[in-house]
Structure 1
Amino acid sequence: MRTQEMALLTHDTLLLPEGRIEIRVVDPAYLSMIAEVLKLHYQLVFGMSRANNDLPCYEMATQCEIIDFNLLDDDSLGIVLQGKQRVRILSAAKRRDGVWISRTLACNNWQQEPINGEFELISAALEQFYQVNPDLFGLYDNDMHLEDASWVSQRWLEVLPLYNKDKLRLLNQPNCHKTMHFVLELIKSHASAKSY
């Protein structure tokens, strides 16, 4: 397998393939790194921040692309990223300007599969979640795949308030099945708690 050098952005949140996130870039070094990515000098990888480790993020990360950007009210840059490919961060080095460059290896994305039976509940709940969170909903411009179990599972992992290590345990599975069961049980237990 071929490794690839990528510019690394770290953040508290999780981004997975086909997911979208908007982040604010203020640091001049990262603004010039974004320019390098747009000029195709580097691919971009997005990882969940991690303290007290050799790497600035967890090993599992997502190669992404910049699909939109705009100047925010405070003159910082807002960029919208879309996840493309899961990767493993093998190593990372900090440049003089403070930007991290990582050595990555592509990993398998979860395969698309139809969502059916009782799992349609997690799809309906996600659609409802996006309707009450218009900022997230707006990122997708009606480009949602609520019929795809893999897409729905990954969007839940991005938004659920779980410890990163728990998210990673689910992400390291070969497919979305464990995540689907986990989210379904969460929704059912929440619904039964509300019915008392």
Structure 2
Amino acid sequence: RPDKEDFYVTASRMVPYKKMDLIVEAFSAMPDKRLVVIGDGPDFAKVRAKAGPNVQLLGFAGFDVLRDHLQRARAFVFAAEEDFGIAPLEAQSCGTPVIAFGKGGALETIIPLPEAGCAASSPAPTGVFFYEQSVAAIIAAVERFEGAGAAITPEACRENALRFAPERFRGEFTTFVEGEWAAFRGGKQGRCSA
């Protein structure tokens, strides 16, 4: 969805390693920016205590509500270090850029905006990284995102998410297995043979 509204969104189970409290604290320090928080869990009260008037906590919400917010948001904010992390890809599949902690799986699923003074690289960027799990780092990343203008497009975000589509996995996996099977049946060693 290319027509974005003037709010940011984050969604997660509210447990300590997800760092939802940092995101809420950062946005509470930026009263001119609106944040919608979707999720529930043991840290909900801690997160709510840090929420300023510009932060709306929805609590648990169904998939339709989550998808609607992901489609309409300016960007999805993600502060956890995950092995993979599906939420940033779900946001990108909705055409929404991601502002994420630059560690773990996010490094593989988000194409970062080039750093200042660096030449743009291909493919097109789909998000902005911050490299410290802190309020100041999140604020700086949001400012960098806003300064990027139209450098990150909904189309680039969607295209990037499609790299992880189940259909692509199935097709490439099937082609690989069939090639190995054909090599095995033909008496040739496959690429995976020792």
TM-score (norm 2): 0.28
Larger radius of gyration: 2
Structure ranking higher in helix proportion? 2
Structure ranking higher in strand proportion? 1
TM-score (norm 1): 0.28
